[in-house]
Amino acid sequence: MQTENFILISHYCQHTQIPVDFIYTLQEYGFIETKQIENKVYVESHAIIEIERIARLQNELGINLEGIDALYNMMHRVNQLELQLRRTTERLKIYEP
């Protein structure tokens, strides 16, 4: 398997001073997915944004991972409701003059 779109976790953590355990905890909470390729653990490159966002929330705002999980669930629900509202608004436009 090619590793072009993957970042080796040990290298990333070494360069950013983010603990490797933090990455595994994010995986346990379902925030990111890791891949094991040839006995090395990688994360997809687009997951770096999520890792940094969550690390920033934790460090700057002092939110623990349980709080971040709750926040992400609420944000997901709000996004679903906004989409539903948009769809309903579009459907109601056919009745306007």
| Domains assigned to the chain | 6-95 (1.10.1660.10)
Beta-strand pair 40-44/6-8? antiparallel
Provide Rg for the chain, Cα atoms: 19
- Summarised one tens digit per residue, pLDDT across range 55-93 is 988 888 888 888 888 988 898 999 999 999 999 999 999
Whether 58 contacts 64, CB under 8 Å: yes
Q: Strand 40-44's sheet: what is its strand order?
A: 6-8, 40-44, 34-37
Q: What is the pLDDT of residue 59?
A: 86
Query: What is the per-residue pLDDT across 17-40, written as a single tens digit (0 to 9) for each?
Result: 999 999 999 999 889 999 998 899
> What is the amino acid identity at position 1?
M
